[in-house]
Amino acid sequence: MSESEIQADSPDLVSLETDHPIWERFFTVAPLIVVGSREENGEYDLAPKHMATPLGWQNYFAFVCTPQHSTYQNIRREEVFTVSFPMTNSVVMTSLAASPRCGDDSKPSLMALPTFPAKSIDGRFLTDSSLFFECQLDRIVDGFGVNSLIAGKIVAAHIRPESLRRNDVDDQDTIAASPLLAYISPGRYATIDRSASFPFPKGFQKSKDSDS
């Protein structure tokens, strides 16, 4: 097939002005996570985040934060953090973790959240979650406007049995038994309990640098 045969007319598009943030103008899908960190006074903080992603196929995970948040300052100081992936029935709990701080910088709403301790680092998880990471800080990259990328190496990971992929269980059955909670930015969420296999082309392979 020649290049001329696959060309098509451009679709009708709306151009967005980029002299200010564009992210409120459309919807995007992201994971909804809760990041745990240790405060300077020894207490623990939990904060929901959605700008979060694995970094490649190795055991690295990152999320976006800002130096103005306690999460950033806690992780820079303690050099560890936890990541909880809330279950679909935990939206209210996750929302409580986003409650504003009081004048004394305390966050009383966290007292209502059930948590349990990490095993290999000093941190806590949101109990009503399906997947849990214990991370050591790898690096912080500042300068994305007012935001920063916090990257950690996963040193321990835990999962509820019903969320674990198994060779003898169809992937769709696993997702139906343990639905995923997604954040639809801006300001919405969804339950993912149905999926379909992605139609990879014949011969498709992951990067040769992958250990998978």
Q: Catalogue all structural domains in the chain, each as residue range(s) with its CATH number.
A: 28-192 (2.30.110.10)
Q: Which residues of the chain have pLDDT under 50?
A: 212
The reported pLDDT for the residue numbered 92 is 84
CA atoms within 13 A on the CB side of 57: 8
Q: What single letter denotes the amino acid at residue 161?
A: P
* CA–CA separation, 108 and 62 (whole Å): 27
Tokens of 88: 């679909």
| pLDDT on residue 209 | 60
Burial 175-203 (b: 16+ CB within 10 A, else e): beebbbbbbebeeebeeeeeeeeeeeeee
Instruction: Write down the pLDDT at residue 47.
Output: 94
Q: What is the pLDDT of residue 202?
A: 86
54 preceded by cis ω (within 30°)? no
Residue 62's closest CA among 127, 137, 117? Answer: 137
CA 199 to centroid of chain Cα atoms: 25
Quote the pLDDT of residue 65: 97
What is the residue-averaged pLDDT of the chain? 90
pTM: 0.89
pLDDT tens profile 113-145: 899 999 999 999 999 999 999 999 999 999 999
pLDDT at 101: 60
Q: Which pLDDT belongs to residue 187?
A: 94
Q: What is the pLDDT of residue 113?
A: 87
> 24: which residues sit within 8 A by CB, 6+ positions away?
186
For tokens 């296999």, the residue is 197
Interatomic CA distance for residues 27 and 48, integer angstroms? 18
Alpha helices in the chain (DSSP H): 3-6, 70-78, 91-96, 171-177
